[in-house]
Amino acid sequence: MTAAITGLGAALPPAVDQQALWDGFFRRHFSASRIAHRIFAGSGVRRRHTVANPADEDLSGWSTAARMRRYAREAQPLGHEAVRAAMADAGATPDDIGLLTVVSCTGYNTPGLDIQLAASLRLRPDTQRLLVGHMGCYAALPALGSVADFVVARRRAAVLLCLELTSLHTQPATADPQQVVSHALFGDAAVALVLRPQDQKVPAAPTTHRPGLELVDIAALTDPATSDHMTWDVTDLGFRMGLSPRVPQVLAEHVRPVVKDLLARNGLDLPDVRAWAVHPGGPRILDTVRRELDLPPHALAASRSVLAEHGNCSSATVLLVLDRLLADGTLTAGGPVVAMAFGPGLTLYAALLSAPPAPYVQR
């Protein structure tokens, strides 16, 4: 027996245009650097969503304590909205939920977001909770695997929430290109999933006609020799990202063997994959994946669209790509789906999912 994603919901703070961010703040912040301007223009991002628009409020000098207080204030309502939407999409009630898992690398407080949401969502007092912190952009997929294991073992529905508020970590002005890249890419988002046992009978959800996605298998690879290529350090002035330009080169070495092995042990090969949900860490990341897997140009259209409309939202991003694939009809015919995400370690995670053909009748 396996677990299936039967509901998905997203919540986004206000959107801001990428050019407006440059003109309103980052041009001044980076001293009108031509290199910084080229990085912003070439990021593949048209707009992002942010709880803290730097053109309106400059957080770059805030202490980490002040940023964490802001995280606590902003995260709860956004997470609540995303989970409520996912539960409505799945036709799930608070009493159905046996586990709430919250993923975030952008803020912490105790009692934490998991406890706040359990209360605001009116989950049962015996609902189990899990908080996954500071894993970075790939965290949605190991969390998905853990939640699916719970669903299969306990035969209870579960919720997974990925919530990232990267805008709270604007760093002081610098000429470091790595910092420019991170400030050009990252945005805020909350995305939640509801998972159920694949064979569980549930009431039809009136709000959705989306297919359920069965989680088939998960693969991971970490290359510790490149651990300094991507970092997320806690400083006195928020969390500071290190992002080496060598990341795509390392990814190029590992992505094909990992994906080929994941597919082969499930009797599949690359041409069998119906759709790709690849974390858009940036344009070079997507170009590398497409080249190494020999994919047609349109294969990563959903990932590029999410990058353009949302930026890189850390752990929430790959779930936004899955949402895009579900919403645009790509999965109507059903078939295998591969989701991939990358992050500190360097770590690559890949998940094999299976979409049933439409029309989909909930079990």
Catalytic residues: 137
Question: Cα–Cα distance between 269 and 344 in angstroms, integer?
Answer: 27
Token readout for 324 is: 């895009």
Strand duo 47-49 + 238-243: pairing? unpaired
CA of 149: how far to CAs of 36, 153, 178, in Å? Answer: 44, 6, 37
What stretch of H or E contains 302? helix 301-310
Question: Cα–Cα distance between 316 and 182 in angstroms, integer?
Answer: 16
Q: Cβ distance 202 to 362 under 8 Å? A: yes
Location of structure tokens 């995305």: 191
Whose CA is closest to 272, among 337, 341, 333, 340?
337
Token readout for 282 is: 């940036």
Token readout for 179 is: 């910092």
